[in-house]
Structure 1
């Protein structure tokens, strides 16, 4: 079996990375939108911005997904910590 990298040019591989990057940004935008909606619901119900049990569940889920896909769980969790912190900052600013 041939290595896929041998069959694709460097430019094709870079184009594939660029498409994946676009998809990642789109998913971050979707996640941010949904988190904003959650913030609105929390504000309407006078709930706190931070929900530590939910954050822990997100982190655990992220680690499980990372292991399932053969990605370093610590790296994935670091990315998710950033996403959660960004959402919390936006929630606080919108109140």
Structure 2
């Protein structure tokens, strides 16, 4: 396979990753709406720990460094929390 073909594959994968982040964000927004309706806190430490543990297990399934994968998920979680807080403040 040529370098250009490999780069095209990476480009397609990158697009898939962005689409999955968008889907995750959409669902996280729905979670935020439910939390607001039920007057629950934006942060749920127990759920965050479960997400991180799941991310670590999934990383290991694909022979990836679990710490690096967890770092990505920490960023995703933090971005969702920032967005949720921002939306609550706007209301």
Q: Is TM (by shorter chain) over 0.5? A: yes
The corresponding residue for 1:33 is 26
- The runs of 5 or more residues in structure 1 that have no matched partner are 1-7
- The runs of 5 or more residues in structure 2 that have no matched partner are none
Larger Rg: 1
The corresponding residue for 1:19 is 12
The corresponding residue for 2:73 is 80
- TM-score, scaled relative to structure 2: 0.96
Alignment partner of 1:51 is 2:44: yes
- Which stretches of structure 1, 4 residues or more, deviate above 3 A after TM superposition? none
- TM-score, scaled relative to structure 1: 0.92
Cα deviations across residues 33-65 of structure 1 (Å, max 9, x unaligned)?
A: 000000000001100000000000000000000
CA RMSD across the alignment: 0.3
